[in-house]
Structure 1
Amino acid sequence: MWTHNGFDRAPAPLHSAHRTIFILSILDIRQRLLSGVKTAMKSILSEVYAADKISPPKAPSSSIISILRKAALRRKDSAAQFIQASRPDLADKEENEAAIISAFLPPVLSEDAIDSILTEVLAELPPSQTDSRKNLGRVYKSFYSKVDKSMVDTDAVKRRAEVLMTFDSS
């Protein structure tokens, strides 16, 4: 007769109900993860398909990168709002989606690289045009003719251009 810790029968085999529940919980986590990824990607894919319809035959890579950057930014903004609303569960979901989307993005130019290109652009302009807000548009136009807009943080370009053109943004 088997006795283990006062019980008169053998321990339950490994394929018991506990193991089944454990396996189901792993599958549930996998299913929720897959569902979350699908949801995040479906909205982005619908934006890409809409861009494809606007510019046949297909949207250029720069447009798709721009769509991805905007989607990641939207999710980061949503996460910040959820944190303010004391909803960390939804904030985590949005941050995870932003991380997934960001994995598809190429790296943006560093501020040093932006400064280097802006310095070249400013050197090409006549000196009278490098210190006026009116000429900021010309600087941007020249900058973006040299760099794909999807490869830079446009806010960083604006900040650095204002600093290099020696006037305050305030």
Structure 2
Amino acid sequence: MHYVFRRSMPRPGPFVSRYFHSNHVNLDIRNELNAAVKMAMKDRDLVASTTLRSVLSEVHSLDKAAGSKAPSSAVVRVLRKAFSRRTESAIEFTKCSRPDLAAKESREAEIIAALLPPLLSESEVDHALAEAVGGCTTDDVNPRKVLGHVLKAFYTKVDKSNVDSDFVKRRAEALLNANRS
């Protein structure tokens, strides 16, 4: 006698929306990554499992270099770096008229983006920058040094993995220019 096991509930839609809807930034991203790899392997999603396992490999290399488990913020930085690499690759493949490879890289970027915690909002960044500028007392007239002091004060309050550093730099420059006027 052969038994056929059927799932009681059908599997929902695409991979990205199915597994990751976490609003908690403080959760260990490493656990989410491991769970995502297991789920992708169970679903036999070759693209997702390969992508996530490559990111997990980078995380393990980071752990090995640190000598112990790297903090969650470092894991988030690895994820953001992997996301940006794939996004840039997709853009380059599009420029080189290779839509097949661009689509593959875009799909991988979507998978990684689903794991990333949200960045701080503009208002939160502006508020933290205003505090950093207000708390920064320096007698330097060199605007680059002042900017460096402000960014240093900002990043002591805010984890670098939770913000877009280019955006923070542009906002800090704009805030300092507004204060000089």
| TM-score interval, normalised by the smaller of the two chains | 0.7 to 0.9
- Please, which moves more after superposition, 39-48 or 146-155? 39-48
Residue of structure 2 aligned with 1:35, choices 37, 46, 69:
46
Q: Please give the TM-score of this superposition, normalised by the length of structure 2.
A: 0.70
Amino acid at match of 2:171: R
Partner of 1:112: 123
Q: Which runs of 5+ in 2 are unaligned?
A: 1-40
Q: Please give the TM-score of this superposition, normalised by the length of structure 1.
A: 0.74
The 1-side partners of 2:82 and 2:154 are apart by 24
- Distance 1:44-1:103 versus aligned 2 partners, 3 A rule: same
Could you list the per-position Cα deviations for residues 129-159 of structure 1 after superposition, in whole angstroms to 9, with x for gaps in the alignment? 5872212111111101100110000011111
Residue 134 of structure 1 aligns to a residue whose secondary structure is helix
- Please, which moves more after superposition, 148-157 or 50-59? 50-59
Residue of structure 1 aligned with 2:173, choices 147, 156, 162:
162
The 2-side partners of 1:165 and 1:55 are apart by 37
Partner of 1:4: none
Partner of 2:67: 56
Identity %: 50
Question: Do 2:93 and 2:101's aligned partners in 1 also have CA atoms closer than 8 Å?
Answer: yes
Offset of 1:127 from its aligned partner? 7.2
1:132 aligns with 2:154: no
1:85-104 equivalence runs, <5 A: 85-104=96-115
Residue 133 of structure 2 aligns to a residue whose secondary structure is helix
Offset of 1:42 from its aligned partner? 2.2
Partner of 1:14: none
The 2-side partners of 1:134 and 1:127 are apart by 9
Partner of 1:75: 86
- Distance 1:125-1:40 versus aligned 2 partners, 3 A rule: same
Q: Which runs of 5+ in 1 are unaligned?
A: 1-29
The 2-side partners of 1:106 and 1:140 are apart by 22
**Number of residue pairs matched?**
138
The 2-side partners of 1:91 and 1:146 are apart by 38
1:142 aligns with 2:153: yes
Question: Do 2:86 and 2:109's aligned partners in 1 also have CA atoms closer than 8 Å?
Answer: yes
Partner of 1:27: none
Greater relative contact order, per chain length (Cα 8 Å cut-off, separation 6+): 2
Give structure 1 regions of 4+ aligned residues with deviation exceeding 6 angstroms.
none
